[in-house]
Chains A and B, each alone.
Chain A
Amino acid sequence: MRRDRFAVGGFCITAVAITTALGAQREGDPQRGKALYDSRCTACHSLDHSRIGPAHRGVFGRHVARVAGFDYSPGLKHSNVVWNARSLDRWLTDPEKFIPGQKMGYSVPEAQDRVDIIAFLASPEAR
């Protein structure tokens, strides 16, 4: 079912399937990802308003540091990364290792959690 749903937007199939550091191919569950997002991310973020962190609507596929009016760290301002499944996975694994000089002190250690959160961010609900 999940594959069928994402087949409508083929882009998303690629988006939410990630080869983890351990070599396992994982597919994201956007519903679980939304629950994780609500629990872990909404202290600082929301989809539509920049707060402690920038707004997330449309983040998937966007160049970093492009939310108007948000005061990004120098690390992000000077980065050329585009947020896709791979880059978001690396970011959520260890933001500072991926983009030194950034400001987020939070990480998501479990691979499946990251894939699910990314699946939510890539889903129509967050676009």
Chain B
Amino acid sequence: MIKSSRSIAISRRNVLFVGGVTLSGAAVALLAGRPALAAKHAGGQSAQKDASVINTALALEYEGINAYTLGAQSNLLEKPVLAIAVKFQDDHKVHRDRLLAVLQTLGATPVKEKSLAEYAEELEVNKLKTQADVLNFAAGLERGAVNAYLGIIPSFADHALAKLAGQLASDETVHFAILNQALGRPLPPAMSFGV
């Protein structure tokens, strides 16, 4: 397995050696607010693969946004908790917009957002009966998102996009920590994410 990981890493370095300047240029241009320049640099198989992973992240953010809508609509949240949920949802909207911008730069078609009813069914929100249920549900999604973002970081050919995934993971970790605290649970042990 170690051997396999190394060979993947070496292979990725080779890819970067061939096309890394181009891809990095795209990401740097994008992050610097120069999408036109970024678009000029985008392209190639690695960029397509990165776009595919970004689309997965976008699907996660859509789900998160809708999950908070469903939580808010449940009428199970007290006002202060609802305010926090709205704040977290706003964060997910910022994530969504950033990911959409990246996909546009890469020339990829963004995954479509599902209907609220579809998310409700998939997430089984009909099982939520108390505020604690909603908090636990949200904490589970946030923790899952942290682990997902940490897990996709090694997939990116473009390190700037890996950093973006790290930023997303950081925000989700904050969300999880606050939800965890609201549930009265102890702090998670060190190194408990991404494992």
Interface flag for A40 (CB, 8 Å): yes
Contacts of B8 in A (CB 8 A): 94
Interface size for A (C-beta < 8 A) is: 24
Within 8 A of B (CB), among A72-114: 93-94, 96, 103-107, 109-111
When chains A and B are docked, how far (Å) is the Cα of A106 from the Cα of B57?
11
Instruction: Flag the segment in A3-11, A43-51, A59-67, A117-125 that touches B.
Output: A43-51
When chains A and B are docked, how far (Å) is the Cα of A124 from the Cα of B190?
33
10 residue pairs bridging A and B, Cβ less than 8 Å apart: A21-B1, A43-B141, A44-B59, A49-B124, A50-B122, A52-B60, A105-B152, A106-B56, A106-B148, A109-B5
Residue contact B155 to A52, C-beta cutoff 8 Å: no
Q: Which of A20, A44, A49, A109 contacts B148 (CB 8 A)?
A: A44
Interface flag for B195 (CB, 8 Å): yes
Contacts of B147 in A (CB 8 A): 39-40, 43
Binding site for A on B (CB under 8 A): 1, 3-5, 8, 49, 52-53, 55-56, 59-60, 63, 121-124, 140-141, 143-145, 147-148, 151-152, 154-155, 195
Within 8 A of B (CB), among A13-55: 20-22, 39-40, 42-44, 46, 49-52
Residue contact A49 to B56, C-beta cutoff 8 Å: no
Contacts of A109 in B (CB 8 A): 1, 4-5
When chains A and B are docked, how far (Å) is the Cα of A109 from the Cα of B154?
11
Residue contact B3 to A22, C-beta cutoff 8 Å: yes
Binding site for B on A (CB under 8 A): 20-22, 39-40, 42-44, 46, 49-52, 93-94, 96, 103-107, 109-111
Residue contact B1 to A110, C-beta cutoff 8 Å: yes
Given contacts A104-B56, A109-B1, A40 and B151 within 8 Å (CB-CB): yes
Contacts of B1 in A (CB 8 A): 20-22, 93, 109-111
